[in-house]
Amino acid sequence: MFSFGVLSLSLLSLTAVVRSSIHKPSERKVFADAWAAPGLQPKPQVVLDAYDTGLFMPVGHMSAISSADFTILEHPLFPHHSVRVKKSYFCDGTVPAYTGYIDNEARHLFFYFFESRDDPDKDDVIFWTNGGPGGSSAIGLFMELGPCTVTSTGNTTFNPYSWNAHANIFFIDQPVGVGFSYAEYGESVGDSIEAGRDIAVFSAIFFEHFTKFKGRGYHLAGESYAGRYLPVFATEILKLNPWLLEAGLTPINLESIMIGNGCTHMPSMVSSKYDMQCKNISVPPIQDISTCVRLKQIRDRCKTLMRSCDEEFNVISCKAVFQFCDNSLEDAYLATGYNPYDISKYCEGPYEETLCYPITSNISTFLNRADTREALGVDPAVENYILSNMDVWAAFWGHLEIMFPTQYYIGALLERGIRVLVYVGANDWICNWVGNERMTLDLEWTRQAEFVSQPLREWEVDGAPAGLTRNVGPFTFATIFGAGHMAPYDKPKESLELLKRWIVEQDP
């Protein structure tokens, strides 16, 4: 099943574009593009000379961004990448908003950026992506945790529980082909490593240009398939940091990743789909006894088969195993009519049209309006906003990326002091808390035994139980009672409080 949570300007007048960086292609050729050409070392003195001679001039402050035309951001270390960005007061109304594209030659990723409502000059920066693969991050923005919520095809309302209450935040449609992102000449992205390089470079260009954010805490957040994206994206940023240092630049201060309802380790997740529909866990069993007996036999067989995928990873056999196991458990669930993103509810509307949430249809219609597209600065090359792109899903599936053991990245990040939060709405089925807890308990890292020994304890908001949690050092697992796959949509107050404790108070 495609998991959308896991799974909007004709102002592009390039003749009026404001450029901020190197102006002549001949000047750009002298710089080493260390990231695009692995093995080619950066030339620190050449990069420093670009600063000293005025070939590179950082924008400095967000207020310098034009609201009429795109400002182009470039950097001598990354001659194949640039960022075009414009300013507006779209969506929030109380703080500036910025939209634009991350351009990597023929690939163009659309993003939104909102300054913090609290203290943008001091607050941390959050990067948010939805999953799929192929799901638009406009779902996170306009349905869950963004500054405004789409209430109809033509209206939005202020969201008092937006995560920019405590942070500056990006929402990015990635990879290309998702949302308003697009590519030319048949370019595409089919794995998280390639997608992560664009995010790492974009992050470096952003922090180098907007100097007030330099050294600020940076947090990668997202949900569903982002449980696979984020550990890899974080790794690409850490891989890039030594190159930045060698070039005399400031490394990106990556502090944490925040995985919401992540489908991080598929063997754990597939087997737990039996538990969620046949055991009295978040809700009483929704399947009859005969069906549960049949599903248990499938689950037990699949646990053995899928374990071999972690150990041997034979592409052909693993693809067949995953298709059989996941489809068997999923088909039985979907036949019940329950919402795959919230086991306590039935699906609202045809799944293919609404993904069980009619608000998603409103979001698509709203973003395809001509006035919305103009306000956002959508490139005319984009014919329509794409909520969920099955071609992207198919490309990732073709690489069997969905079975790669991404949890190994999480263990490696923990060993390097990067904090990791795994939070899960307790009513989610497709990327449920049972599978996520198993992944966290089985995760190999230095303090694994200590983490496993900790009992789950309740955490509270305003004196009322909000979920269960377990923590050791940089690693925290938390559930959110009453929430489904899109936890900030179902429990906005509790989700915002969890964010505040994580990035502001750093209280696990």
Domain regions of the chain by residue span: 1-7+83-508
What is the predicted pLDDT for the residue at 256? 97
> Catalytic: which of 224, 268, 271, 272?
224
What is the predicted pLDDT for the residue at 155? 85
Q: How confident is the model at residue 313 (pLDDT cuts 50, 70, 90)?
A: low
31-45, 104-118, 218-232, 295-309: least confident range? 31-45
Q: Tell whether the model's pLDDT for residue 37 goes beyond 50.
A: no
Q: How confident is the model at residue 252 (pLDDT cuts 50, 70, 90)?
A: very high
**pTM for this entry:** 0.89
Secondary structure letter of residue 80 according to DSSP: T
Q: Which of 142, 172, 162, 178 is nearest to 361 (CA)?
A: 142
69-83, 176-190, 299-313: least confident range? 299-313
> Catalytic: which of 92, 123, 342, 428?
428
Q: Tell whether the model's pLDDT for residue 27 goes beyond 90.
A: no
- Is-catalytic flag, 428? yes
* Residues β-bridged to residue 388: 135
What is the predicted pLDDT for the residue at 1? 44
Q: Which of 470, 440, 433 is nearest to 455 (CA)?
A: 470
**Greatest pairwise CA separation for the chain in angstroms:** 76
Mean pLDDT of 122-151: 94
Pick the CATH number of 1-7+83-508 from 3.30.470.10, 3.30.565.10, 3.30.230.10, 3.40.50.1820: 3.40.50.1820
Q: Which of 221, 274, 228, 173 is nearest to 397 (CA)?
A: 228
Task: Choose from 90-94, 190-194, 219-223 the range with maximum mean pLDDT.
Answer: 219-223
With beta carbons less than 8 A apart as the criterion, state whether 96 and 87 touch. yes
Q: Tell whether the model's pLDDT for residue 345 goes beyond 90.
A: yes
Residues 238, 495, 149, 484: what is their CA dihedral angle, to the nearest 10 degrees?
Answer: 100
d(CA 470, CA 453): 10
Report the relative pairing of strands 81-88 and 97-104 from DSSP bridges.
antiparallel
Q: Tell whether the model's pLDDT for residue 500 goes beyond 70.
A: yes
> Catalytic: which of 75, 166, 265, 485?
485
- Is-catalytic flag, 453? no
Mean pLDDT of 417-431: 97
Element (H, E) at 233: helix 226-246
Q: How confident is the model at residue 51 (pLDDT cuts 50, 70, 90)?
A: low
DSSP per-residue codes, 7-66: ---TT--GGGPEEES---HHHHTTS--TTTSTT----HHHHHHHHHTTS-----SGGGS-
Burial of 386 (0-12, 13-18, 19+ CB in 10 A): buried
Q: Tell whether the model's pLDDT for residue 408 goes beyond 90.
A: yes
Sign of CA dihedral 271, 277, 280, 285: negative
